């Protein structure tokens, strides 16, 4: 358990697990993969660098469900990677700060709860459908230093506000991704290239003070605009707000991650009902601030 009062970074993981989140990876696939993501994070990230904040957003999955999943998986093909690494209680128990909601408040409100509890100099928002590689956090902070120096030397005109990783190319299978932990330099063919205007919302790191400044412009506590529903659009608007503050979002190729995607939001019934409304709201915000895209 993290002991220091001044972590470099606060890693915030929103989580919502129900008893019906089944799919191509078997029963309870959302929780199954989340346990792999948490295991990987703990394995490859120096513990002295971060505090871990997890939000239980009204989950209903039980230990019995996990036992059932493990038994079914072994019965199918006897592959160890199809079993879960933790029970729900063990998963929640890995947090330094655990926030428990009785019901699912939505992605943006849950993340905001975590951001407001953060004490790190930086905040990392990490979805639990992402697998990081070794040295990922060091690579992100190296990128902050490199781009800040480029800004100081007037090579670029906007200082770094948010850093996001690149994705592992041509990899779509979570089972295969679980076996990849070490960073292969051959993957990083664009290692020294940094893409401005990046908009990957499933893993990003930003200075906490920048996020506090953005929240102050809203209501003092909302980093993500909670008018967006179901985790669709609030990150896109946040990137615009970062730019309005005079910063830029950058993608680094110094590290890459595997992102499965849709393991949580894909299980939300009637989620497409909100898609059009979120897009319209985003367009209204951009128009209000004179943003042309």
Domain ranges of the chain: 9-288
For residue 259, give the nearest of 187, 188, 170, 167 by alpha carbon: 167
Is residue 118 within 8 Å of 11, Cβ to Cβ? no
**Residue 151: partners with Cβ closer than 8 Å, 6 or more residues away:** 157, 158, 159, 160
End-to-end Cα spacing for the chain: 44
At 189 the pLDDT is 65
- Please, what's the b/e burial string for 34-54 (b: 16 or more CB within 10 A of its CB; e: otherwise)? bbbbbbbbeebbeeebbbbbb
The pLDDT score that the predictor gives to residue 229 is 85
- Whether residue 155 is predicted with pLDDT greater than 60 in this model: the reply is yes
Could you give the CA distance from residue 275 to residue 235 in angstroms, rounded to a whole number? 14
The fold adopted by the segment(s) 9-288 is Spore Coat Polysaccharide Biosynthesis Protein SpsA; Chain A (3.90.550)
pLDDT digits (tens, 9 = 90+) for 109-136: 999 999 999 999 999 999 999 999 999 9
Share of the chain above pLDDT 70, in %: 90
Q: Counting beta carbons within 10 angstroms of the beta carbon of residue 257, is it exposed (0 to 12), middle (13 to 18) or buried (19 or more)?
A: buried
Q: What is the largest CA-CA distance in the chain?
A: 60
pTM as predicted: 0.92
DSSP 206-270: EEHHHHHHHHHHHTSS-SS-TTS-TTSSHHHHHHHHHHHTTEEEEEEEEEEEEE---SSGGGSTT
pLDDT band at 293 (very low <50, low <70, confident <90, very high): low
């Amino acid at each position: 358990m993290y002991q220091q009062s001044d972590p470099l970074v606060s890693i915030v993981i929103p989580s919502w697990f129900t008893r019906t989140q089944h799919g191509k990876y078997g029963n309870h696939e959302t929780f199954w993969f989340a346990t792999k993501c948490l295991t990987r994070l703990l394995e490859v990230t120096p513990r002295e660098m971060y505090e871990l904040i997890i939000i239980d957003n009204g989950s209903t999955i039980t230990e019995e469900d996990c036992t059932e999943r493990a038994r079914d998986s072994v019965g199918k093909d006897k592959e160890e990677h199809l079993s879960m690494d933790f029970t729900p209680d063990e998963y929640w128990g890995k947090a330094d700060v655990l926030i428990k909601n009785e019901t699912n408040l939505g992605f943006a409100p849950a993340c905001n709860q975590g951001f407001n509890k953060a004490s790190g100099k930086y905040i990392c928002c990490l979805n639990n459908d992402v697998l990081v590689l070794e040295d990922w956090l060091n690579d992100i902070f190296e990128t902050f230093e490199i781009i800040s120096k480029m800004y100081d030397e007037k090579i670029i005109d906007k200082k770094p506000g948010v850093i996001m990783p690149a994705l592992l190319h041509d990899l779509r299978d979570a089972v295969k991704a679980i076996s990849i932990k070490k960073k292969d330099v051959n993957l990083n063919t664009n290692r020294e290239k940094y893409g401005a205007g990046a908009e990957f919302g499933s893993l990003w790191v930003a200075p906490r003070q920048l996020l506090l400044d953005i929240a102050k412009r809203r209501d003092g506590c909302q980093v993500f605009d909670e008018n967006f529903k179901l985790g669709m659009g609030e990150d896109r608007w946040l990137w615009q707000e970062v730019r309005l503050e005079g910063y830029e979002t950058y993608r680094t190729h110094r590290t890459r991650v595997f992102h499965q995607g849709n393991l949580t939001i894909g299980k939300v019934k009637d989620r497409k009902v909100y898609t059009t409304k979120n897009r319209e709201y985003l367009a209204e915000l951009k128009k209000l601030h004179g943003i042309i895209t």
